[in-house]
Structure 1
Amino acid sequence: MAAAFLPTASTFLSSHLSSPASSSSSSPSVIFPCKHNAKRKLAICRAVSDSTPLSPNLTKRGLSICFITSFSFLLAGKGCSDANAAILEAEDDEELLEKVKKDRKKRLERQGVISSSNKETGFLQDLVYKLSKVGQAIDNNDLSTASSVLGRNTDTDWVKKANIAFRKLSSSPEEKSQVDSFNSSLASLISSVTRNDVESSKLAFVSSASAFQKWTALTGLVGQLKGL
């Protein structure tokens, strides 16, 4: 993946550019050939300036040529750095564009699954209605009504159907995790209602409703179900 490679590449380039020992290796010349040529020209100029001068005029002229040549190559080296930065930026843009395309494809596929799951959507709509009735009953401290809606355990028909829908429409680990949280909270809710524990029932109901709402948000079903 380009996104995973870019940070490593940036660290690699920075370490080589900042370390004097690495300037003699072959890898920087591959990445920045212009900068390598500039350093080579500077080395040649030093050799010329250290040699025995033929005449004052010739020496000055040689130094001027070396200075101008070296300066030009340093500018060219900067141009290579900018060019490489532009290449990395272009790769980053391509990575972002590819991610957007994949996300869009995933959303379309998910919408296709939802559109072809009318039966499962109906199971979930029934779940919403039952949770609404249970919430109203608990809010009124009417646990007998809540118990009649929930049933005595999680082995009831409406819970089984809800889990059929959960299994079909859950694909990511996050979605499956919310399903587990919902079922666990629902079991606690049924137990608390059966024990006639109002406070525990309220806490368990909030946990159940919260897990279900998070799941619908992750799966894109928020707009498909009424009463949320």
Structure 2
Amino acid sequence: MAATSFISTANTSFQSLPSSSSSKHNVRRPCSVSVTLCKATSDSQESSPVLTKRNLAISLTTTLSLFSLSVASKGVLEAKAAILEADDDLELLEKVKKDRKKRLEQQEVIVSSEKERASLQSLIYKLSKVGQAIDNDDLKTASTVLGPSTNADWIKKVQAAFDKLSSTSEEEKEVTELNSSLASLIASVIANDIKSSKLAFVSSATALEKWTSLTGLTGQLKGL
């Protein structure tokens, strides 16, 4: 009985103790895990600074390269813009010189053209009288001032003045318009058409004003 109880107690106590294999496993595992973690930590600490420096160097090199390219590109663009601006300034300066030279030459022609200026002054006086007559519905007086046709002597003299003093295509365009308007004015007055006479008179006066302004004759003629 006592022996049996002792054996039972011993078995119970023996079973409660950890086996040698179990104890060995429990002791080695922490060491294995600990070594692995330590090695991983050690490798990470050793390699991380090297990679960081390398990445930083690459990043700085790339940034500097991009900055240099940006500065170079900007410099090239600014240089091109400066060249174009200089060219534009030279072209503008040349144009101003040519225009000034042309105006001076034209003024010399105008000053030396007394006969032509007299013919143009006569045209202004005639148009002024015709305008007053048309405004009073007096087409008979208007017809007397203008003459029977565009073959009148005073119209030929005016045309000669236009030809001599017109030097640009724009001025010649206004001369063409003026000649057409004068022809319509004479025809309308002869036909006793007051409405058409008024329209033709306005067109003639407008074309003459534009032409004298373009040629620089505005200050040379009275009544404008």
TM-score normalised by structure 1 residue count: 0.70
Structure 2: which 5+ runs fail to align?
1-49
State the match for 1:220 in structure 2. 216
Instruction: Please identify the structure whose Cα radius of gyration is greater.
Output: 2
State the match for 2:130 in structure 1. 134
State the match for 2:89 in structure 1. 93
Deviations 1:185-224 (A, max 9, x none): 1111111111222122111111111111111111111111
> Does residue 1:105 correspond to 2:101, yes or no?
yes
State the match for 2:32 in structure 1. none
May I ask how many residue pairs the two structures share in their alignment? 174
Matched residue SS, 2:220: coil
Deviations 1:8-30 (A, max 9, x none): xxxxxxxxxxxxxxxxxxxxxxx
CA distance in structure 2 between the aligned counterparts of 1:194 and 1:67, rounded to whole angstroms: 88
Deviations 1:156-206 (A, max 9, x none): 111010001001011212211211211111111111111222122111111
Matched residue SS, 1:223: helix
Moved over 2 A (4+): 55-74
TM-score normalised by structure 2 residue count: 0.71
Structure 1: which 5+ runs fail to align?
1-54
TM-aligned CA distance change 1:196 to 1:86, over 3 Å: same
State the match for 1:13 in structure 2. none
Q: Percent of aligned positions with the same letter in both sequences?
A: 63
Give the letter for the 1:153 counterpart: S
Matches within 5 A, 1:190-201: 190-201=186-197
> Does residue 1:161 correspond to 2:154, yes or no?
no
Deviations 1:73-113 (A, max 9, x none): 43223222222222212212222222111111111111111
CA distance in structure 1 between the aligned counterparts of 2:75 and 2:181, rounded to whole angstroms: 62
CA RMSD of aligned residues (A): 1.9
Deviations 1:135-176 (A, max 9, x none): 111111111111111110011111010001001011212211
CA distance in structure 1 between the aligned counterparts of 2:93 and 2:64, rounded to whole angstroms: 43
Post-superposition offset of 1:71:
2.5
